[in-house]
A = this chain, B = another copy of it.
């Protein structure tokens, strides 16, 4: 198909498609003349993935490129690929406060709290994982705000996340073929965050209304 048709089928404007081609997140089409190229279903699919990562996931283009590189080199197995995709998403999407090497009692306490949580949960995860470090940064920031007691949320949140992760991995496994599983990891990680955040808000509204607003009868 021509670029106009590609635009129509994906809802992505032609100048945006040309930008993605220049930036290398979309492979060139097959040249049919010096000024024209032909695109296939793979382009439609890839463009939708880019759009979801950018518009729904809010990832910058550099993160999208990292994630796509991982999808395109999926021979590394599910566990390794899941890790790589996660790190790309985490590094670009989350903005953990810069690590500070200055000895800091609040940071030491936060590191201990996270290590203890990982141990209590029986999770086989290093305390140097980017998400563990992100967690430490959040706790340090909370402590600085006088909200150190937010650490009390860790255990019940972690219990909820154990159940969520089992559901997520079932979702990935159900994709079947490895490259489809990798794409499921990308989509599930990014869109799953958005879904979880939205549902937490809705649950807040309901719970808050129940406690502070509505009266029975």
Minimum CB distance partner of A118 in chain B: B202
Is B200's CB under 8 angstroms from A129's CB? Answer: no
Copies per complex?
A: 2
Q: How many residues of A contact B (CB 8 A)?
A: 90
Whole-angstrom CA separation of A95 from B60 in the bound complex: 13
A49: B residues at CB distance < 8 A = 145
For the complex, would chain A's binding face be called helix, strand, loop or mixed by DSSP majority?
Answer: helix
Which A85-108 residues have a C-beta within 8 angstroms of B? Answer: 86, 90, 94-97
Determine whether A166 belongs to the interface, using a CB cutoff of 8 Å to chain B. Answer: yes
Which A111-167 residues have a C-beta within 8 angstroms of B? Answer: 118, 121, 123-125, 129-132, 134-135, 137-138, 141-142, 144-147, 149-150, 152-154, 156-167
A contact set with B: CB distance below 8 Å: 11, 45, 48-49, 51-52, 55-56, 58, 77-79, 82-83, 86, 90, 94-97, 118, 121, 123-125, 129-132, 134-135, 137-138, 141-142, 144-147, 149-150, 152-154, 156-169, 171, 173-174, 183-184, 187-189, 191-214
